[in-house]
Amino acid sequence: MILYATLGCLALLSLVLMLWQWRVARLFPLHRRVERASFAPALTLLKPLKGCDAATEDCLRSWLAQDYQGETQILFGVAAADDPVCAVVRKLSAEFPGRDARLVICGPLAGANLKVCKLAEMERLARHDLLVISDADVRVPSDFLANAVAPLAAPEVGLVNCFYRLANPATLAMHWETVAVNADFWSQVLQARSLKPLDFALGAVMATRRPCLREIGGFAALADVLADDYQLGHRIAQRGHAISLCPVVVECWSGPMGWAAVWKHQLRWARTIRVCQPTPYFFSILSNPTLWPFLWAATCPGLLTFWFGAGCLLARLAMASDLQHRLLSEPGGSQPPQRASPAWLAPLKDLLQVALWGLAFAGNRVEWRGQRMRLRSDGTMVQP
């Protein structure tokens, strides 16, 4: 009876947490645009780059083609002049001759996080106090900058970030990861925000002011951390500045990946979150909406556990389908909506997440950008 009651309570708790997550996601004004983009300060876009793939040119072009009224400086940072992405940048610079765009050869890079080292180099060349940081694989709609900087009109806002969607899952493994991001991750962020103001940032695109960056020691202070986006937002929030979410969603593109590559990526993500937020991550297992109803039904078979488990499974499938649709379906978007990944992958993702959760606490080694690194308890990384 104790086992029956314990598993029953955990199953009920996971259902309640799932419905709460679903509700806050549905209430968020996703894809909403500003009515009049009257706030358009001069800004500098920092784009650290390394290598290129089939989507790189389109992703970079989306930034050069922005419909933004303010003055814009664009800095593309690479570690070496022979990086193949340099040819892409030069081609696009010729395509947009009126843009203030510059290729910056950064180096020598001193720090474990080479992306942040490039940002530190470009920071010194930025001509404007409003800085926008974006990963290389991000594609944005033409009105993104106008919407992203809008919250910074309020002086209390120190950083703006946004949700992203995985745009081109090409394998079953990538579809599994896409469900984790396009259905669960953004809604979990909103669930956390419903408890307290955001004190971290999502790294696809971030916009901040130079004075806020100087308060935390600039990008140089983040040169050895793995979760530089989390730490940038966290340190700015610690100094009393608000973290705002822009409702416009951006796209992340990547080359095809198999199960091994996706698993390494997810394990690195899990260990990174565990280091950044050890206590919340430990208790996150309680919100697994497939694990606990399954264990209850398998351990204590009966009509109640069977029908409760079946109901939880149907709710989980409906939530995964609905939240993907909300993230992918942009009203009035210029591109056709992306097809959602199969919702049946959500329960599989939940069960595999148990293994990732355990492995996150079982080690501190990660593979990042082709290098094996060891994570310290403070979130910095070193060569093993």
Tokens for 88, please give them.
């892409």
Please give the average per-residue pLDDT across 293-317, as a whole number. Answer: 96
Could you give the percent of the chain with pLDDT greater than 90?
88
Examine the pLDDT at 45 and tell me if it is beyond 90: yes
301's CB contacts (< 8 A; 6+ apart) are none
For the chain, what is the mean pLDDT? 94
Nearest to 364 by CA among 349, 383, 338, 344: 383
Would you state the pLDDT for residue 35? 83
In a domain, residue 52? The reply is: yes
H or E element, residue 22:
helix 2-27
- The amino acid that residue 22 corresponds to is W
User: What is the DSSP annotation of 352-376?
Assistant: HHHHHHHHHHH--EEEETTEEEEE-
138 and 250: one domain?
A: yes
219 and 341: one domain?
A: no
Coil/strand/helix, residue 39: coil
In a domain, residue 259? The reply is: yes
113 and 173: one domain?
A: yes
In a domain, residue 55? The reply is: yes
SS3 content of the chain, % helix, strand, coil (to 5): 50, 15, 35
In a domain, residue 331? The reply is: yes
78 and 157: one domain?
A: yes
Residue 77: domain span: 43-269
Examine the pLDDT at 333 and tell me if it is beyond 80: no
In a domain, residue 32? The reply is: no
Give me the CATH number covering residue 86: 3.90.550.10
Quickly state the pLDDT bin for 269 (edges 50, 70, 90): very high
226 and 81: one domain?
A: yes
95 and 122: one domain?
A: yes
Examine the pLDDT at 42 and tell me if it is beyond 60: yes
Would you state the pLDDT for residue 335? 61
134 and 198: one domain?
A: yes
265 and 286: one domain?
A: no
CA torsion through residues 219, 225, 228, 232, sign: negative
Please state the domain count of the chain.
Answer: 2
Would you state the pLDDT for residue 371? 78
Last residue of a domain, one of 221, 251, 269: 269
In a domain, residue 33? The reply is: no
82 and 169: one domain?
A: yes
In a domain, residue 35? The reply is: no
Examine the pLDDT at 279 and tell me if it is beyond 90: yes
89 and 218: one domain?
A: yes
Last residue of a domain, one of 244, 269, 294: 269
72 and 168: one domain?
A: yes
Locate all alpha helices (DSSP H) within 28-79, ordered by sequence: 56-64
237 and 307: one domain?
A: no
Please give the average per-residue pLDDT across 134-139, as a whole number. Answer: 95
67's CB contacts (< 8 A; 6+ apart) are 142, 143, 146
- The amino acid that residue 263 corresponds to is W
Of the two residues 196 and 371, the one the predictor is more confident about is 196
- For residues 224 and 205, give the distance between their C-alpha atoms in angstroms, rounded to a whole number: 20
Angle of CA points 284, 285, 289, to nearest 5°: 105
Last residue of a domain, one of 213, 241, 269: 269
Contact 64, 74 (CB under 8 A): yes
Would you state the pLDDT for residue 378? 85
